Amino acid sequence: MITSLDDTPLMEPMLPTYTDIVSAASRLDGVARKTPVLADTPLDDRLGMKLFLKCENLQHISAFKFRGAWNTMSRLTPEQRSRGVITHSSGNHAQAVALAGKYLGIDTTVVMPNDAPQIKRDGTERYASRVIAYDPTKHKREALTDNIIRETGCVLVPPFDHPHIIAGQGTAAMELINSCGPLKTLLVPCGGGGLLSGSALSARALSPGCSVIGVEPESADDAVRSFRSGRIERVQNPQTIADGTRTESLGKMTFAIIRKTVDDIVSVPEEAIIEATRLLFETARVVVEPSGALGLAALLSGAVRVQGRVGVILSGGNIDAPMMARILSPSH
Amino acid sequence: MITSLDDTPLMEPMLPTYTDIVSAASRLDGVARKTPVLADTPLDDRLGMKLFLKCENLQHISAFKFRGAWNTMSRLTPEQRSRGVITHSSGNHAQAVALAGKYLGIDTTVVMPNDAPQIKRDGTERYASRVIAYDPTKHKREALTDNIIRETGCVLVPPFDHPHIIAGQGTAAMELINSCGPLKTLLVPCGGGGLLSGSALSARALSPGCSVIGVEPESADDAVRSFRSGRIERVQNPQTIADGTRTESLGKMTFAIIRKTVDDIVSVPEEAIIEATRLLFETARVVVEPSGALGLAALLSGAVRVQGRVGVILSGGNIDAPMMARILSPSH
């Protein structure tokens, strides 16, 4: 059995609360960037609503993941730090753990699929002590990671299903709402559910009337199905341009929070994700990776029909230049 | 003779001072965006310095120009407002005047070259009362504008050579230095010199030891030559990808300030501008137009060799999607 960061079994996890997010925010103060919130963009007229774009694409390593990684790793004991940490991730969490490890002086091992975007591999290799690539069509990242932990005794920093990770990710929505005021709707990309569950905890506390809606690609719609069926559903190595959401399933903890606090989860087609990525470039001059554009994609595709004050978390900006070139080229 | 905004001749202008920038900042408070300053990007390791990127690409209309336009137009008397305003601009100032006019309820006429980037024409047409296109190989924008002023009595909002414009533009460097602390060097794109002269006034006041260096394209190097010769030199319709710097010359007022307060002006080749635009996308996930990348281009090309704490004003982000696609495509 894999043990948690504090070496106790994770079978009966204590779910994090908004208090843990407040505590995470003080730990992140002066370390993570307080990313800007863009409002009054030309998207408002186009969509007939008042949008607030939380630019986590401008966070360290260009994704919200730094928040959770820092909140988790800065709490490790000296003994845990000396053992080093390991994680598995298709990209942004990997970079986040690697950078936090560099700042904190902790040895980092990253297990990463060999089809991760080049920009995410480069970013991870820049900071990680070592990167172990695997073929996601043949191996499961969790099993590979477990083997290394057994061999080396290093500490797992899970990509999403841990209270410290969730609390860290929740600080983005906390900053958003503290900056722009109450929202009618908050749209959040959903992969493993760390950002979505943390965001929902913040929204419940700071903007009680706000509908929190998760968004994932149609081809990786495990969270939509889980939300409907009431149990954790899975996808196998889904093919979507939104590589940050290829996670097999929600976690036990993120799913438990999502069931309690999230209003809906919707899915969007690939074309809407591409169109949203292009439109964010054209109208707000921001670089988002396809996963980061899911919230806007839900508005463009009609998966979510709302008016009023809408928060959208742009979760990351790590898109390879050639892919961005294809999305922006006139043939699209 | 063209009269100034307060209907007095502009022959002996009063040069603005830092006090005017402080005053502009209070006028812009709550209206302009306090744009983020990005630090700790991978560029630091690559260039061996500590960079602070002031993201005016995330200002309203995606360029610093909104600052000067608002500072100027919000000071117009009711009588002046009722006459409407006019300006000439290849793009960003045009959009800025148009948006400020929309907010303030002032009729706006924009005289714009027919080779301005599509994104800037679209942005201007979105907000302006009317746009008058002209062929820059056949006509001078100033003469066209003068004719319309004589016919209609509207008020000129000059693109750079006015104390209220310069004071507004100076608030960007003021925010930068107030946010990051004293700098060793500040790199500023230079077209007509409004941003450069305003930035230098702020740097002189807030970071006295800071070298302020203007940057322009080699093919539009009128400011470099003016700085050397001591008199205003000109370029005619220069061909550079940095369309925001195609201005014919510095203004009397901007040149007077630049001679007193700027340490140097350098020029950079087109390839360095393109490389800087691409690199800002890849390393900092920001969208800058080529003119906005001039500061980084000066570091990449070796035109400026510095170490330590370097501020770079990313002046704007209005780049057409097809052009960005070309810059990001693998052939580059």
Is B2 a residue whose pLDDT tops 70?
no
| Residue A10 confidence (pLDDT) | 43
Q: How confident is the model at residue B332 (pLDDT cuts 50, 70, 90)?
A: low
Is B38 a residue whose pLDDT tops 70?
yes
**In chain A, pLDDT over 90 holds for what percent of residues?**
86
The partner residues of B313 in beta bridges, in order of sequence, read B54
Whole-number mean pLDDT of chain A? Answer: 94
A137-178: pLDDT as tens digits: 898 888 999 999 999 999 999 999 999 999 999 999 999 999
Q: How confident is the model at residue B3 (pLDDT cuts 50, 70, 90)?
A: very low
Spatial contact of B96 and B61, defined as CB atoms under 8 Å apart: yes
Cβ pairs A/B, distance under 8 A: 78
Q: What is the mean pLDDT of residues A85-110?
A: 95
Residue in A278, A286, A317 closest to B321 by CB: A278
CB contact under 8 A, A321 and B281: yes
Q: What is the rounded CA–CA span in Å between residue B120 and residue B93?
A: 10
The structure tokens listed for B317 are: 């982000």
Fold for the domain defined by B66-156? Rossmann fold (3.40.50)
Q: A316: helix, coil or strand?
A: strand
In whole angstroms, how far apart are CA B257 and each of B30, B146, B194, B201, B267?
28, 25, 10, 8, 19
Q: What is the rounded CA–CA span in Å between residue A293 and residue A272?
A: 9
| Residue B208 confidence (pLDDT) | 96
> Picking from A32-36, A222-226, A241-245, which range would have the lowest pLDDT averaged per residue?
A241-245
Q: What is the rounded CA–CA span in Å between residue A57 and residue B57?
A: 15
* Closest A-chain CA to B285: A287
The structure tokens listed for A20 are: 């843990």
A273-330: pLDDT as tens digits: 999 999 999 999 999 999 999 999 999 999 999 999 999 999 999 999 999 999 999 7
Q: How confident is the model at residue A3 (pLDDT cuts 50, 70, 90)?
A: very low
**In chain B, pLDDT over 70 holds for what percent of residues?**
95
H/E element holding A211? Answer: strand A211-217
pTM of the entire predicted model: 0.92
Cα first-last separation, chain B: 48
Query: HSE (CB half, 13 Å, CA atoms) of B283?
Result: 20
| Residue B136 confidence (pLDDT) | 86
Any catalytic annotation for residue B179?
Answer: no
Which candidate in B74, B197, B226, B315 is catalytic?
Answer: B315
Residue in B35, B278, B321 closest to A281 by CB: B321
In whole angstroms, how far apart are CA B222 and each of A87, B137, B165, B197?
54, 18, 21, 15
Is B24 a residue whose pLDDT tops 80?
yes
CB contact under 8 A, B317 and A38: no
A182-222: pLDDT as tens digits: 999 999 999 999 999 999 999 999 999 999 999 999 999 99
The partner residues of B156 in beta bridges, in order of sequence, read B86
Q: What is the mean pLDDT of residues A14-23?
A: 96
Distance from CA of B325 to the nearest CA of A (A): 4
CB contact under 8 A, B35 and A38: no
The structure tokens listed for B77 are: 């008397």
User: Bigger pLDDT: B96 or B332?
Assistant: B96
Is B206 a residue whose pLDDT tops 90?
yes
Whole-number mean pLDDT of chain B? Answer: 94
CB contact under 8 A, A35 and B36: yes
Q: Which of A220, A224, A164, A222 is nearest to A194 (CA)?
A: A164
| Residue A13 confidence (pLDDT) | 61
What DSSP designation does B193 have? Answer: S
Q: How confident is the model at residue B10 (pLDDT cuts 50, 70, 90)?
A: very low
| Residue A225 confidence (pLDDT) | 98
Residue in A119, A322, A330 closest to B329 by CB: A322
What DSSP designation does A13 have? Answer: P
Q: How confident is the model at residue B8 (pLDDT cuts 50, 70, 90)?
A: very low
- Enumerate the residues of chain B whose CB falls inside 8 A of the CB of residue A330: 321-322, 325
| Residue B13 confidence (pLDDT) | 61
Q: What is the rounded CA–CA span in Å between residue A188 and residue B325?
A: 28
Residue B51, judged by CB atoms within 10 A of its CB (0-12, 13-18, 19+), counts as: buried
Is A8 a residue whose pLDDT tops 60?
no
Q: Establish whether domains B18-63+162-328 and B66-156 are of one fold.
A: yes
Distance from CA of B245 to the nearest CA of A (A): 20
Q: Is B153 on the interface with A (CB under 8 A)?
A: no
Which candidate in A54, A65, A74, A199 is catalytic?
Answer: A65
Is A9 a residue whose pLDDT tops 60?
no
Fold for the domain defined by B18-63+162-328? Rossmann fold (3.40.50)
Is B328 a residue whose pLDDT tops 50?
yes
Concatenating the DSSP letter of every residue in A81-134 gives: HHH-EEEE-SSHHHHHHHHHHHHHT--EEEEEETTS-HHHHHHHHHH-SEEEEE
CB contact under 8 A, B281 and A329: no
The structure tokens listed for A121 are: 């591999």
B111-164: pLDDT as tens digits: 998 988 888 899 899 999 999 999 988 988 889 999 999 999 999 999 999 999
Which candidate in B62, B65, B197, B267 is catalytic?
Answer: B65
Which single residue is written with the structure tokens 């901007």? B254
Q: Is B304 on the interface with A (CB under 8 A)?
A: no
Q: What is the mean pLDDT of residues A78-83?
A: 97
Give how far the C-alpha of residue B76 lies from the chain's centroid of Cα atoms, to the nearest Å: 21
Ranges of each domain in chain A: 18-63+162-328, 66-156
Is A223 a residue whose pLDDT tops 60?
yes
Concatenating the DSSP letter of every residue in A125-194 gives: HHH-SEEEEE-TTT--HHHHHHHHHHHH-PEE--SS-SHHHHHHHHHHHHHHHHHH---SEEEEE-SSSH
Any catalytic annotation for residue A315?
Answer: yes
- Enumerate the residues of chain B whose CB falls inside 8 A of the CB of residue A327: 325
> Which of B58, B285, B318 is most worth mutating to test chain A (most A CB atoms within 10 A of its CB)?
B285
The structure tokens listed for A332 are: 């699209």
Give how far the C-alpha of residue A242 lies from the chain's centroid of Cα atoms, to the nearest Å: 12
